Structure 1
Amino acid sequence: MLESSVQITTTDPSRLIRRLCKHWSHKFEVTYDDRHGSIPFGSGHCELRADEGRLTAEVRAEDPAQLEKLETVVADHLQRMAADETFSFDWKRRA
């Protein structure tokens, strides 16, 4: 399993977790609260964690193409959910 993570600075990480998880709850069996979110995609998995002023997103997938796709999908959706903030995504991959 391949893994990648990113940390973004945000004024309300809990809000992003709630919005992203609610958005995908019609397609996947997500779980979330104000500090943590879990999204089981068919091709991988995403974990979200809120800390003071920061959101950490971790994605896992079986192959590099799936991992790259999840990075893009999660980043795009987080940016859309943010409304008035602009993020920079610097994914760090782990084997």
Structure 2
Amino acid sequence: MSQAVITTTDGLRIAKRLTNHWQHKFQISSLGDTGFVVHFPSAEVVLLPSADALQVEIRPVEGGSEPMDLAKLQSVVASHIDRMAGEVFDYQWHDA
């Protein structure tokens, strides 16, 4: 699993905008009040907003329909978050 934590007070708004954007292409699951899961063919992208951050986790899916290209997925997720937020964040991805 790869993880990044973005410092922002707009985590929930960004997560909602991102899931609304991706819902036409991917299945989205709600984690109740804690966040969302975006189901990519090769991975699950978990968005966990809090009052002062947005935690992003990329989890490989065993037996997914495509092999996971982690670097590409990190780039896609980061660029979409930046676009939904209207600002550019510093992403420090690390294995969790």
TM-score, with structure 2 as normaliser: 0.83
Partner Cα separation in structure 1 for residue 88 and residue 24 of structure 2: 26
Partner Cα separation in structure 1 for residue 76 and residue 7 of structure 2: 18
Q: Residues 17 and 84 of structure 2 are in contact (CA less than 8 Å); yes or no, is this contact kept in structure 1? A: yes
1:10 has 2:8 as partner: yes
RMSD: 1.9
- The sequence identity of aligned pairs, in percent, is 39
Look up the SS of the partner of 2:73 in the other structure: helix
In structure 1, the gaps of 5 or more residues are: none
Equivalent residue number for residue 82 of structure 2: 79
Look up the SS of the partner of 1:30 in the other structure: strand
**Aligned runs of 1:9-88 on 2, under 5 Å?**
9-32=7-30, 35-61=34-60, 66-83=69-86, 85-88=87-90
Partner Cα separation in structure 2 for residue 56 and residue 43 of structure 1: 20
TM-score, with structure 1 as normaliser: 0.84
